[in-house]
């Protein structure tokens, strides 16, 4: 079938749009950054109007750049920054407050209170998540508490809640109130096994059900973008949160397939198939994008990955650009026994120690700039191995290969070291636009452009750069033990 798919990729710092053909090639791309608001330390907010306007502009420009008209676009897919929360008035469409961004810590006290009320276990059983300010529920509670009259208006059914996908669908369709299952699974209100909003948690948090959008599978009918926006009506047929879209775009559609995205932090997701996952190792259980039946994933994240490279550049001035880290790391044979543990904001899985702080260990009089830069890149790989170990332990079998994407995967030293320290091949697709491709895939399958996930993956999979492990097993074990020892020294309470 001839035609094109338009993907909207609404991220934390910019709105992007890409036009794909049936082989997954990018024909046009546009991107607009938008303003980050920091009203107080630790708070992060976005202007919902700016999100929508920057996204619409990017979509128009991407189509123009591709030389593709809206009539030739079979379907539109949306992928988005997850968990970021908005509430608006159903009648006027006006947001009652700026969007509260996933990173924002302004609702930490609400989460403390919920933990103190003993809700941790039920939240984990129902949603797969830990109680944390990242997820939408406490942001909704905060908005209903802080905006005068909001709780009453919500109870009267006058307000609508949405994550960013829902906000964009509302705008594009002129008032459809919908979300997909992957985004719903990040609200901390969604029962991932029952595949419905949890009445028990809504009750516990005092959130009226009338606020919530209807939930649909990631590849399904989300209405039609009105002609006034892009020049002709375009059906919206695919929606997924960014990490789930990347998992799909990487072709990780079968149980056991895993991908790691290396950006500011790292997000490792492993497809676990139709059975709801329960981690024994501190990973989150979440919904994976699917076209028909349920699909789940285990998710683990590294808080500080590429951000540690930014710290070398901006905090220490050891490198001029992130890319320079590769040459500087290669200028030394090894780290000379130096380990950096970038626990700048505590440690996540498998340690879960929010009071841990970073450390540089093993320094000698001979330590040079190259050793520290190299240790920083290696730390990204060690932290990712920590997550891979958790996923393998939960699955009861080792990973066979790791698919990778994200800005820091341009660093070939890092990718080779990652393969060496894991002892499995690392696969980097040449087309690194996997997040937008995943959204395009879901939309294209929804529109019949590709028959099913297998056909989408076969049609669009790009060539891979393969990094094979070459480090001897003894050395791999020794170095990883060194890392674990270094981590132990950063713990808030010595084990
Ligand atoms: P995000 O989506 O989180 O903004 P990106 O995928 O755009 O992240 O990747 C940017 C991150 O990757 C930055 O933290 C940057 O320091 C890091 N990065 C980019 N290029 C390199 C490189 N060649 N080597 C190491 N780190 C890099």
Whole-Å CA distances, 384 to 42, 304, 349, 380: 26, 11, 10, 6
Q: Ligand 1, residue 305: give the atom nearest the CA.
A: 14
466 C-beta neighbours (distance < 10 Å), count: 12
**Atom 2 in ligand 1: which residue has the minimum CA distance?**
263
CA distances from 125 to 198, 255, 470 (A): 11, 21, 41
Show the DSSP H helices in 159-266 as ranges. Answer: 164-173, 181-184, 199-205, 227-230, 242-249
For residue 403, which phi and psi values (nearest 5 degrees)? -85, 140
> 253 near 325, Cβ under 8 Å?
no
Structural tokens at position 277 = 């996952």
Atom number in ligand 1 closest to CA 405: 6
Q: Confirm if 204 and 141 have CB atoms less than 8 A apart.
A: no
Q: How far is the CA of 382 from the centre of ligand 1 (A)?
A: 17
Task: Find the residues whose C-beta lies inside 6 A of ligand 1.
Answer: 263-264, 306-307, 309-310, 322-323, 325-326, 406-408, 410-411
Alpha carbon nearest to ligand 1 atom 22, residue: 323
CB 209 within 8 A of CB 202: yes
Question: How many residues in total does the chain contain?
Answer: 495
The answer to whether residues 110 and 174 touch, using CB atoms and an 8 Å cutoff, is no
Q: CB within 8 A of 156, min separation 6: which ones? A: none
User: Quick check: 86 and 164 in contact, CB under 8 A?
Assistant: yes
Pocket residue to mutate for ligand 1, from 264, 308, 380, most atoms within 8 A of Cβ: 264
Q: How far is the CA of 210 from the centre of ligand 1 (A)?
A: 40
Residue % of the chain over a pLDDT of 90: 81
The pLDDT value recorded for residue 275 is 86
What is the spatial distance between Cα 341 and Cα 348, in angstroms, rounded to a whole number? 12
In the 8-state DSSP scheme, what is residue 347?
B
Crossing angle for the helix pair 108-116 and 136-146, nearest 10 degrees?
110
**Ligand 1, atom 15: closest residue by C-alpha:** 306
Separation of CA 325 and ligand 1 centre (Å): 11
Q: Are 391 and 270 in contact (CB under 8 A)?
A: yes
Beta strands in 291-350 (DSSP E): 296-302, 339-341
pLDDT for 354 equals: 75
CA–CA distance, 74 with 6 (Å, rounded to integer): 8
Other CB atoms within 10 Å distance of the CB of residue 494: 6
Strand ranges, E, within 255-389? 258-262, 266-273, 284-287, 296-302, 339-341, 359-361
Measured CA to CA, the distance from residue 87 to residue 75 in angstroms comes to 27
Strand ranges inside 205-265, DSSP E: 214-216, 224-225, 234-241, 258-262
**Residues of the chain where predicted confidence (pLDDT) is lower than 70:** 1-2, 494-495
| Site to substitute for ligand 1 among 79, 243, 249, 309, most atoms within 8 A of C-beta | 309
Of ligand 1's listed atoms, the one at least distance from the Cα of 310 is: 16
| pLDDT value of residue 495 | 52
Cα(448) to ligand 1 centroid in Å equals: 35
Atom of ligand 1 nearest to the CA of 307: 14
Q: Encoding tokens for residue 225?
A: 């973008």
Counting Cα atoms < 13 Å in the Cβ hemisphere of 367 gives: 16
- In the chain, domain spans: 4-241
Ligand 1 mean position, distance from CA 404 (Å): 13
Nearest CA to ligand 1 atom 13: 306
> What is d(CA 299, CA 215) in angstroms, rounded to the nearest whole number?
21
472 forms beta bridges with none
Give the pLDDT confidence score for residue 352 in this predicted structure. Answer: 80
Distance from C-alpha of 380 to C-alpha of 314, rounded to nearest angstrom:
18
Residue written as tokens 């066979």?
400
Supply the pLDDT for residue 282: 85
Q: How far apart, in whole angstroms, are the C-alpha atoms of residue 290 and residue 282?
A: 24
Nearest to 42 by CA among 97, 108, 95, 99: 108
Q: Ligand 1: which residue has its CA nearest to atom 14?
A: 306
- Close Cβ partners of 109 (under 8 Å, ≥ 6 residues apart): none
Assess if CATH 3.30.420.40 describes domain 4-241: yes
Which DSSP string do the residues of 112-147 spell out, in sequence order?
Answer: HHHHHTT-HHHHHHHHS----TTSHHHHHHHHHHHS
Q: What is the pLDDT of residues 472-482, one digit of tens each?
A: 999 999 999 99
CA of 14 to the centre of ligand 1 (A): 14
Here the tokens at position 83 are: 């968990």
Phi-psi group of 253: left, alpha or beta (phi > 0 → left; psi -120 to 50 → alpha; rest → beta): alpha
């Amino acid at each position: 079938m001839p035609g094109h798919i338009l993907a909207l990729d609404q991220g934390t710092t910019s709105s992007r749009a890409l036009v794909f053909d049936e082989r997954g090639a990018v024909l046009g791309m546009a991107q607009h950054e938008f303003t980050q608001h920091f009203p107080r330390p630790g708070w992060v907010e976005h202007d919902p109007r700016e999100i929508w306007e920057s996204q619409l502009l990017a979509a128009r420009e991407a189509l123009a750049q591709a030389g593709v008209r809206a009539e030739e676009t079979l379907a539109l897919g949306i992928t988005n920054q997850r968990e970021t929360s908005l509430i608006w008035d159903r009648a006027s469409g006006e947001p009652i407050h700026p969007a509260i961004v996933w990173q924002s810590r302004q609702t930490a006290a609400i989460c403390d209170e919920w933990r103190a009320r003993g809700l941790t276990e039920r939240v984990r059983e129902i949603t797969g998540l830990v109680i944390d300010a990242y997820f939408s529920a406490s942001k909704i509670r905060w908005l209903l508490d802080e905006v005068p009259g909001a709780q009453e208006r919500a109870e009267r059914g006058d307000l609508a809640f949405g994550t960013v996908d829902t906000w964009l669908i509302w705008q594009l369709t002129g008032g459809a109130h919908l979300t997909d299952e992957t985004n719903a699974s990040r609200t901390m209100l969604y029962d991932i096994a029952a595949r419905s909003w949890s009445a028990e948690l809504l009750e516990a948090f005092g959130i009226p059900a009338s606020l919530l959008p209807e939930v649909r599978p990631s590849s399904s009918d989300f209405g039609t973008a009105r002609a006034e926006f892009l020049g002709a009506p375009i059906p919206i047929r695919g929606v997924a949160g960014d990490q789930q879209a990347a998992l799909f775009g990487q072709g990780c559609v079968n149980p056991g397939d895993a991908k790691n995205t290396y950006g500011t932090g790292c997000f490792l997701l492993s497809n676990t198939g139709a059975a709801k996952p329960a981690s024994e190792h501190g990973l989150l259980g979440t919904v994976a994008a699917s076209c028909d039946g349920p699909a789940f994933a285990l998710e683990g994240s590294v808080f500080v990955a590429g951000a540690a490279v930014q710290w070398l550049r901006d905090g220490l001035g050891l490198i001029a650009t992130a890319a320079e880290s590769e040459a500087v790391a290669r200028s030394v044979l090894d780290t000379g026994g130096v380990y950096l543990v970038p626990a700048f904001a505590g440690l996540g899985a498998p340690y879960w120690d929010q009071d841990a702080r970073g450390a540089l260990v093993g320094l000698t009089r001979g330590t040079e700039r190259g050793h520290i830069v190299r240790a920083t890149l290696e730390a990204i790989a060690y932290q990712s191995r920590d997550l891979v170990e958790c996923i393998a332990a939960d699955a009861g079998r080792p990973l066979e290969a790791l698919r990778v994407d994200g800005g820091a995967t341009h660093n070939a030293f890092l990718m080779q070291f990652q393969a060496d320290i894991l002892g499995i091949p690392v696969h980097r697709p040449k087309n690194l636009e996997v997040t937008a491709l995943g959204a395009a895939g879901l939309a294209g399958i929804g529109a019949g452009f590709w028959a099913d996930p297998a056909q989408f993956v076969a049609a669009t999979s790009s060539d891979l750069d393969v990094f094979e492990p070459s480090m001897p097993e003894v050395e791999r074990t020794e170095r990883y033990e060194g890392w674990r020892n270094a981590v132990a020294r950063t713990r808030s309470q010595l084990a």
